[in-house]
């Protein structure tokens, strides 16, 4: 726990960390790692995820490598502010699926002295900024961009290519629906549609 050393006031110092990248880049794995370290340090940790994310578990955040940590599913970002009481660290997974209020929620938590760790896709399946993530980058104190491996050529991948024909923006899925691609391979497929 970090404390501001300004005169006689010892207040907790909050901040916002973002972990972002394409599908299969290790965002959730890194989120779980940071949250576990906070738990080992005896900090009070709460984790939230959008209610629509039920791929592996309804009540846990689960990485593609099957690592998991307990979480509270919520239907809107406002619920996080109501539930995050007397905590040191808040983790938020799949932030791109939350409403735009998630940005203000994270700022409010950090202003209260809470460390906020957010994981989410930076781009949607079309290669465009995803939901509230651009605004999250703007207010973050720290940003970590992680990369997957391109399933076509083996280079670093930063795009989440959707293999199905659906044009729905939100489509929760896994390797059966998505594959990570580098810029070159993503553009080749996009231009051949």
The catalytic residue among 30, 46, 94, 179 is: 94
Residue 58 falls in the annotated catalytic set: no
Distance of alpha carbon 191 from alpha carbon 150, whole angstroms: 17
Question: What is d(CA 185, CA 73) in angstroms, rounded to the nearest whole number?
Answer: 35
- Lookup: tokens for 193: 């549609």
DSSP SS3 for 78: helix
Tokens of 17: 């960390």
Q: Are 16 and 133 in contact (CB under 8 A)?
A: no
Task: Give the helix/strand (H/E) hosting 5.
Answer: strand 3-6
Q: What residues are paired with 129 via a beta bridge?
A: 123
Radius of gyration of the chain (CA): 17
Active-site residue numbers?
Answer: 94
């Amino acid at each position: 726990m970090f404390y501001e050393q300004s005169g006689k006031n010892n207040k907790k110092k909050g901040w916002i960390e973002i972990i972002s990248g394409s599908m299969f880049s290790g965002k959730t794995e890194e989120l779980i790692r940071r949250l576990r370290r906070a738990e080992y340090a005896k900090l009070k940790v709460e984790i939230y995820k959008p209610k629509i994310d039920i791929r592996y578990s309804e009540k846990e955040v689960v990485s593609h490598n099957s690592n998991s940590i307990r979480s509270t599913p919520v239907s809107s970002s406002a619920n996080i502010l109501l539930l995050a009481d007397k905590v040191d660290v808040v983790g938020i997974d799949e932030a791109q699926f939350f409403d735009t209020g998630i940005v203000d929620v994270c700022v409010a938590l950090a202003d209260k002295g809470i460390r906020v760790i957010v994981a989410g896709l930076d781009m949607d399946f079309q290669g465009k900024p995803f939901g509230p993530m651009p605004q999250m980058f703007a207010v973050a104190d720290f940003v970590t961009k992680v990369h997957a491996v391109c399933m076509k050529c083996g280079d670093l991948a930063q795009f989440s290519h959707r293999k199905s024909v659906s044009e729905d923006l939100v489509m929760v899925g896994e390797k059966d629906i998505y594959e990570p691609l580098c810029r070159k391979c993503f553009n080749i497929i996009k231009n051949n549609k």
